[in-house]
Structure 1
Amino acid sequence: MNRVNLRTYLPSFHGCQEDDAMKYRKLGNTDMEVSYLGFGASSLGSCFRSTNDQEGYDVLEQFLKGGVNFIDTSPWYGHGKSERVLGEAFKAKNIPRQSFYIATKVGRYLPEPSKMFDFSYERTLASVEESLQRLGLTYVDIIQAHDVEFAPSLEVVLEETLPALQKVKDEGKARYIGITGYPLSVLKEIVERSSVKIDTVLTYCRYSMNDTALLEYKDFFTSRGVGIINASPTSMGLLTNRGPPDWHPAALYTPHIVDACKKASEYCIAEQVDISRLALHFSLEQPDCATCLISTASQENAQKNLEVVSDPLNKKERKVLEDVRERFMKSLNNSHWEGFEKTALLKAQESESR
């Protein structure tokens, strides 16, 4: 669908877009046609480096005017900073509410192990109010339970978090309900068991060059009308020349994944091909994922990401992508770090309570 036919397209804001290269896909059974490149606003919370708020405003405007119409954030990102910067940007840049869809989350909050997660009914309701205040909005398009695998039990999510989100939806403060997490089996189980309608699932690093496990679950989600949001095509830095940050779970628990991705990066460098560009194209080309989230607080990087949309891989890059998948990724067999982070969190909570 061309952008000029979207409800989020406003000539007064976007200008003339006759040659727009951005693609748009239906998000499950929602009424949203979302850009297949989405903006993950975690970077605005200084999650990866110290960032300048004003440049964050400019990056948001740059993405929206470049055809992106889907934003994802959370109170966890900078412990409220991402939402605050977005809210300030909406006002500073006079961004019309109609020009974007936005999703935020509940359940994950502070860095201290004992305060990191709270999926209770009361905290969920309070969190939504806090997010709306920071964002300066009266509603969000999707409200999501964040990283549900870290809940004390799935019963808490099913019996407290999701009913609270249904109340939020009934009150008009959110239009749809979603869940997010890394273990795909957990997302599937919640969709199967929930009495509250789940409209979207968001997962990360599960459809990328090193891990395509999402393919094993996509038919289930699409058959239920659940929209699929894919995040982190570079697997949180694994598929970059600089490599993953020290806190990356693969660096901590599954170094063989880091090693394979490092060898792939070195091969791409030798072939004079950008591995991050390959990774983004690879994830964007999965048609069952309505949108693929990328995050940056840099205008230069934002422009590079937008240019990927109108700049397909050339013949050499396609060949290198095939080589990377066959030579370095196939043997990983969708290796992952499921379970390691929760075990570490439980140990940290026990240590903190002593």
Structure 2
Amino acid sequence: MKTRTLGKTGIELPILSFGASSLGAEFRSITLEEAMLSTKTAIDLGMNFIDTSPFYGRGMSEIMLGLGLKGIPRGSYLLGTKLGRYSDIHFDFSARRVEESVHVSLQRLGTDHLDILLLHDVEFVPLAQIWEETLPAVLKLKRQGKVRAVGFSCYPLKTFHSVLDHVEDEIDCVLSYNRHTLQNTSFAEDLLPRLEAKSIGAMNAGPFSARLLTNAELPAWLKEPEEVKAAARAAAKLCAGRGVDLAQLALQFSCEHPGLATTIAGSANPANIRKWAEWLEQPIDRELLADVLAIFSPVRNIGHTEGLPENN
């Protein structure tokens, strides 16, 4: 698996990383065997950065991942988790909760340090708390050696810029999701130049945009407008007619960008993980890519709102 350096951290990340949200049974019930085999398969295939959060499965992802990592040498993988979001309605970015959250995560994951720690979905709270209270507490953990690199995640571009206005000299990386895909490339276009100027690492999650860019039935909770969904169905049909899975093109496209240290995708199905690795070994069909991008052109970069209205 090819790697890229995460900003100024010196941390080498695989271009495709393993997202462990599925281990928290976010999308279906899973067994411990599936969790352990998925984790081992990802690491064996070079997806040796694993991203999780106490939000995923309300702690279950971290627990299952910790079990899946038992017996695997700590030096053979990189580990990242998050703090601040614990359910759809429970957000706590207080300084007191920072140390408590990381302590619990380390216990669940069976490790004494994190390679990356992110403030999770900061758009759901008044942003001043992030730079006035949360980040100073996180940087204290970094100085103690419990965390190697720190950053934050969110969806709205406005939130990225608002937080960066106050913290860009103190953080190491950011994570965006669903914003560098076949349909939406706003992260690389709008934010990446600012990040690169400060050597802040850029991580991308959601290459399939919550199943939008796959052949799977679209979930009822998908927030994208109907015209975006219609374009995705048209793109999937075109790809199928050419003998290619839309998801393959989506993954190849997201992982190709040289400015993104890694793209994160998750599954509790080892067969999916192996398939993704195989896809990345194949060249992108440039003609098909051009045709798919043309389908998405009328709805390009159309997204949705997340978090507090003032943060969008």
TM-score, normalised with respect to structure 2: 0.95
Of stretches 128-137 and 184-193 in structure 1, the one that deviates more from structure 2 is 184-193
**Counterpart for residue 77 of structure 2:** 100
Conservation of the 8 A alpha-carbon contact between 1:34 and 1:291: yes
What does residue range 12-161 of structure 1 map to in structure 2 within 5 Å? 22-91=1-70, 94-111=71-88, 113=89, 116-151=90-125, 153-161=126-134
**Counterpart for residue 208 of structure 1:** 181
Whether 1:289 and 2:260 are equivalent positions in the alignment is yes
2:238 pairs with one of 263, 267, 273: 267
Q: Deviations over 1:171-217 (max 9, x none)?
A: 22111111001112312221221287110100001000000001221
**Counterpart for residue 299 of structure 2:** 332
Gaps of 5+ in 2: none
**Counterpart for residue 14 of structure 1:** none
Task: Name the CA distance, whole Å, in 2 between partners of 1:333 and 1:242.
Answer: 21
Distance 1:119 1:196, change over 3 A: farther
Task: Name the CA distance, whole Å, in 2 between partners of 1:224 and 1:188.
Answer: 13
SS in 1 for 2:136: helix
**Counterpart for residue 245 of structure 1:** 219
Offset of 1:269 from its aligned partner?
Answer: 2.0
Q: Deviations over 1:157-182 (max 9, x none)?
A: 11111111112112221111110011
Distance 1:202 1:43, change over 3 A: same
Conservation of the 8 A alpha-carbon contact between 1:230 and 1:289: yes
Which residue identity is paired with 2:78?
Answer: Y
Task: Name the CA distance, whole Å, in 2 between partners of 1:247 and 1:160.
Answer: 33
Task: Name the CA distance, whole Å, in 2 between partners of 1:255 and 1:121.
Answer: 41
Task: Name the CA distance, whole Å, in 1 between partners of 2:308 and 2:196.
Answer: 28
Offset of 1:342 from its aligned partner?
Answer: 4.1
Whether 1:319 and 2:260 are equivalent positions in the alignment is no
Cα RMSD over matched residues?
1.4
Q: Deviations over 1:261-314 (max 9, x none)?
A: 11211222233221000000010111100000010100111110111222223x
TM-score, normalised with respect to structure 1: 0.84
Conservation of the 8 A alpha-carbon contact between 1:59 and 1:297: yes
Rg bigger for which structure? Answer: 1
Q: Deviations over 1:82-114 (max 9, x none)?
A: 1111111121xx111111111100011024x2x
Task: Name the CA distance, whole Å, in 1 between partners of 2:156 and 2:3.
Answer: 27
Q: Deviations over 1:10-57 (max 9, x none)?
A: xxxxxxxxxxxx111010000211110111111111111111121111
Q: Deviations over 1:122-160 (max 9, x none)?
A: 112211111011001111011110001111x11111111
1:171 pairs with one of 128, 141, 144: 144
SS in 1 for 2:58: coil
**Counterpart for residue 274 of structure 2:** 303
Task: Name the CA distance, whole Å, in 1 between partners of 2:292 and 2:47.
Answer: 29
SS in 2 for 1:102: strand
Which residue identity is paired with 1:223?
Answer: A
SS in 2 for 1:249: coil
Distance 1:260 1:225, change over 3 A: same
Task: Name the CA distance, whole Å, in 2 between partners of 1:195 and 1:220.
Answer: 9
Task: Name the CA distance, whole Å, in 2 between partners of 1:202 and 1:231.
Answer: 7
